[in-house]
Structure 1
Amino acid sequence: MLALSANGVLPKADYAIFADTGWEPRAVYDHLDRLEREIAAPAGIPVLRVSSGNIRQDALDPAHRFASMPLYILNQDGKQGMTRRQCTGEYKIKPIKRQVRGLLGYPYPQRIPRDVFVEQWVGISTDEFHRAKDADVRYMRNRHPLIDLGWSRSDCLRYLTSVGFADTPKSSCLGCPFHGNAQWRHIRDTSPDEWQDVVAFDAAIRAGNARANASGNPLLGEAFLHRSRVPLSQAPIDHVTAAEWAARQDALPDTDPEEWERGVVDGCSPWACRGEADAALTRDDVGLAS
C-alpha cells in the first residue's frame, strides 16, 4: 500500500506507522529501512515507528506486566492448550492508537470530537476479505484499499516484484508460536544467532510467564513455542514425506501436514492476525494456578 501510494496508484498517505514489538527478524528491520529510504522518503511520506516495549524482554522480566503470547501448553495431566493471545493488542494496536491520538491532537485521556478521525488503511487482500472489519474506536475509520482494487496476495507479490521488492519478508516476532516449520527452518538455516535466540527464549518460558511465577500464579504445565510441545531445539521442523508424516501421527496429533509446514501464511497484522481464533482459551483451560 505504501508503494502504491508513493507511486500515485492510491492517494498520497499522510503517514505510515510501523508498530515495533522489539523482536522482529533482522531482515524485517533491514527491509523497513530500505522501504523508508527508497519508497517513503522520496514520496514525502513519514514512517513513524511506535512501540510498547520489547516483547522478549518483557516476557522474561518478573517485574513487568506481560501481555501473553499464544504459547502451546502441555499440562501435567497430558491435556493440551494455548495461552491467550494478548500480544497483538498490547504491542501493535495500543501503540498505533496512541500515535494516532497524538497526530489528531488529542492524547489520552482527552475526548476526541465525533467529527475528528483518521482514515486508516489496512492491507487485507481479497484472499482474506472476511477479515476486513471496522475499527473499534470512532476516531479511526478503516479502509481496505487492496480489496477496493480487487487485488489478491498474488497481485501484491507481482507488484512488489515490479518495483524491486520481490523478497519482502513477513513481519512477525522472531519467536512467534504461529510460525510453521518452514519459517523455523529458515531461521535455523540462514541466521544461526537468531536461531540460538529463539531456542534460548523457548527454554526460558518453559515454566510460563515470569511475572505470574513471581507472584505465585505459576503455570501447572509447560509452555512451548512449537506446536509439537517439545523443546524447539528438538522439535520436528524438517520437512517430512507423506509416509513419514503418517508414521508420526501418534506423536503429532494434528493431522494437517501443510498447516504444520506453512504456519500462519500472512504476517502479524494488527487488525488481521490469522491466529486470533486459535488462542482464545481461558486461564483454567491452560492449567494456571488460582
Structure 2
Amino acid sequence: MLALSAHGILPTVDYAIFADTGWEPAAVYAHLDRLEKEVAAPAVIPLLRVSSGNIRHDALDPNHRFASMPLYILNQDGKQGMTRRQCTGEYKIKPIKKQVRALLGYPHPQRIPDGVFVEQWVGISTDEFHRAKDADVRYMRNRHPLIELGWSRDDCVRYLTSLGLADTPKSSCLGCPFHGNAQWRHIRDTSPAEWDDVVAFDAAIRQGNARANASGNPLLGQAYLHRSRLPLDQAPIDHITAAERAARQPQLDDDTDPEALEEGVVDGCSPWTCRGETEPAQDGFGLAS
C-alpha cells in the first residue's frame, strides 16, 4: 500500500506507521530502512516507527507486566493448551493508537471530539476479505484499499516484484509461536545468531511467566514456542510425513493442520489481521496469576 500510494496508484497518504515489537528479524529492519529510503522519502511520506517496548525483554523481566504471547503449554496432567494472545494488542495496536492520537493533537487521556478521525488503511487482500473490519474506536476509520482494487495476495507479490521488492520478508517476532516449520528452518539455516536467540528464549520460558515466578505462583505447566511442545532445538521442524503432505489444503487455521504446521501464519504479524485467534486453556504462561 505504501508503494501504491507513493507511485500515485492510490492517493498520497500523510503517514505510514510501523509498530515495532523490538524482536523482528534483521531482514525486516533492513527492508524497512530500504522502503523508507527508496519508496517513502521520495514521495515525502513520513514513515513513523512506534513501540511499546521490547517483547523479548519484557517476557523475561519479572518486574514488567507482560502481555502474553500465544505459547504452547504442556500441563502437569499431560493435557495441552495455549496461553492467551495479548501481544498484538499491546505491542502493535496500542502504540499505533497512541501515535494516531498524537497526530490528531489529542494525546491520552484527552477526549477526541466527535467528527475528528483518521482514515486508516489496512492491508487485507481479497484472499482474506472476511477479516476486513471496522476500527474499534471512533477516531480511526478503517479502509481496505487492496480489496477496493480487487487485488489478491498474488497481485501484491507481482506488483512488489515489478518494483524490485520480491524479497519482501514477513513481519513477525523472531520467536512467534505461529511460525510454521518452514519459518523455523529458515531462521536456523540462514541466521545462526537469530536461531541461538530463539532457542535461548524458548528455554527461558519453559518455567513460565517470569513475573509470576518472582511472586511465588505455582507452576501449572511448561511453555514452548513450537506446537510439538518440545524444546525448539529438538522439535521436528525438518519432518513432514507423507500423510501430512497429502492432506494439505490451500488455507488452514487449525492447530493440527499440516499446512499450518509447515507454513505457519501466511501473512506474518499485522495489527488487525493476525490469524492466530485462539481460546486459551489457561492464562499466564500456564501459571496461576
Q: TM-score range by the shorter chain?
A: over 0.9
Q: Deviations over 1:234-271 (max 9, x none)?
A: 0000143405889xxxxxxx653222001111111101
Residue equivalent to 2:282: 283
Superposed displacement of residue 102, structure 1: 0.1
Residue equivalent to 1:76: 76
> In the aligned structure 2, how far is the partner of 1:157 from the partner of 1:219?
45
**What amino acid sits opposite 2:106 in the alignment?**
Y
> In the aligned structure 2, how far is the partner of 1:96 from the partner of 1:284?
25
Residue equivalent to 2:274: 273
Alpha-carbon spacing, 1:7–1:239, altered in 2? closer, same or farther (3 Å):
farther
Residue equivalent to 1:20: 20
- Contact preservation (8 Å) 1:58, 1:64: yes
SS at match of 2:93: helix
State how 1:123-142 maps to structure 2 within 5 Å: 123-142=123-142
Residue equivalent to 1:220: 220
State how 1:76-155 maps to structure 2 within 5 Å: 76-155=76-155
**What amino acid sits opposite 1:35 in the alignment?**
L
**What amino acid sits opposite 1:283 in the alignment?**
Q
- Contact preservation (8 Å) 2:175, 2:198: yes
Alpha-carbon spacing, 1:210–1:285, altered in 2? closer, same or farther (3 Å):
closer
Q: Deviations over 1:193-245 (max 9, x none)?
A: 00000000000000111011112234311000000000000000014340588
Q: Deviations over 1:142-191 (max 9, x none)?
A: 00000000000000000000011001000000000000000000000000
Residue equivalent to 1:163: 163
How many residue pairs are counted as aligned between the two chains? 282
> In the aligned structure 2, how far is the partner of 1:77 from the partner of 1:209?
19
- Contact preservation (8 Å) 2:69, 2:86: yes
Alpha-carbon spacing, 1:286–1:46, altered in 2? closer, same or farther (3 Å):
closer
**What amino acid sits opposite 1:196 in the alignment?**
D
- Contact preservation (8 Å) 1:19, 1:49: yes
> In the aligned structure 2, how far is the partner of 1:28 from the partner of 1:285?
29
**What amino acid sits opposite 1:194 in the alignment?**
E
Alignment of 1:186 with 2:189, yes or no, is no
**What amino acid sits opposite 1:70 in the alignment?**
P
> In the aligned structure 2, how far is the partner of 1:173 from the partner of 1:284?
20
> In the aligned structure 1, how far is the partner of 2:223 from the partner of 2:201?
11
> In the aligned structure 1, how far is the partner of 2:128 from the partner of 2:186?
25
> In the aligned structure 1, how far is the partner of 2:146 from the partner of 2:112?
29
Superposed displacement of residue 33, structure 1: 0.2
Q: Which moved more, 1:210-219 or 1:143-152?
A: 210-219
Residue equivalent to 2:250: none
Question: RMSD between aligned alpha carbons?
Answer: 1.8
Superposed displacement of residue 285, structure 1: 10
- Contact preservation (8 Å) 2:58, 2:64: yes
**What amino acid sits opposite 2:268 in the alignment?**
G
> In the aligned structure 1, how far is the partner of 2:160 from the partner of 2:14?
21
Residue equivalent to 2:251: none
Superposed displacement of residue 64, structure 1: 0.6
Superposed displacement of residue 283, structure 1: 3.1
> In the aligned structure 1, how far is the partner of 2:98 from the partner of 2:266?
28
Alpha-carbon spacing, 1:65–1:228, altered in 2? closer, same or farther (3 Å):
same
Q: Deviations over 1:47-100 (max 9, x none)?
A: 000000000000000001100000000001001000000000000000000000
- Gaps of at least 5 residues in structure 2 are 247-254
- Contact preservation (8 Å) 2:171, 2:269: yes
> In the aligned structure 2, how far is the partner of 1:274 from the partner of 1:82?
15
Q: Following superposition, which runs of at least 4 residues in structure 1 exceed 6 angstroms of deviation?
A: none
> In the aligned structure 2, how far is the partner of 1:23 from the partner of 1:244?
31
**What amino acid sits opposite 2:280 in the alignment?**
L
Seq. identity, %:
85
